[in-house]
Amino acid sequence: MKYEGRRKSSNVEDRRGMSVGKVGGGLGGIGLIIVVLFTLLSGGGIGDVITNVGNSTQQTAPPSERPYISSEEEDELMEFVSVVLADTEDVWSRIFNGFPKEVSHPQGM
């Protein structure tokens, strides 16, 4: 697939070089649920849950002092991903444009 020079999607966020805290926002609600479930399902107790949650919230990396410099290979992969996403957006736009704007549901639903 030749992708150089083709349309790129504007829906790609380049987060390379950002610290973990900026990217993930720390331990969110879903992350907390995963930690609790994993601890309880692996035979741990409530004390273990509190210890795991405390440890995972303290493991955010400090912000980097140096600016991130990407390699040529990374830039090429970023362009490839952006072009593939743009192609996907174009295909789904054409598919959805063929559907009526409002979908009626069958009686009784």
Question: pLDDT per residue over 35-79, tens digit each?
Answer: 667 666 777 666 666 665 555 555 455 555 678 888 899 889 888
Distance CA 47, CA 54 (A): 11
pLDDT at 101 over 60: yes
Distance CA 33, CA 31 (A): 5
CA angle 32, 36, 39 (to 5 degrees): 135
**Which pLDDT tens digit goes with each residue over 73-90?**
988 988 899 999 999 999
Location of structure tokens 């295909």:
91
**Which pLDDT tens digit goes with each residue over 13-42?**
888 877 655 544 455 666 667 766 766 677
Total-model pTM = 0.48
pLDDT at 103 over 50: yes
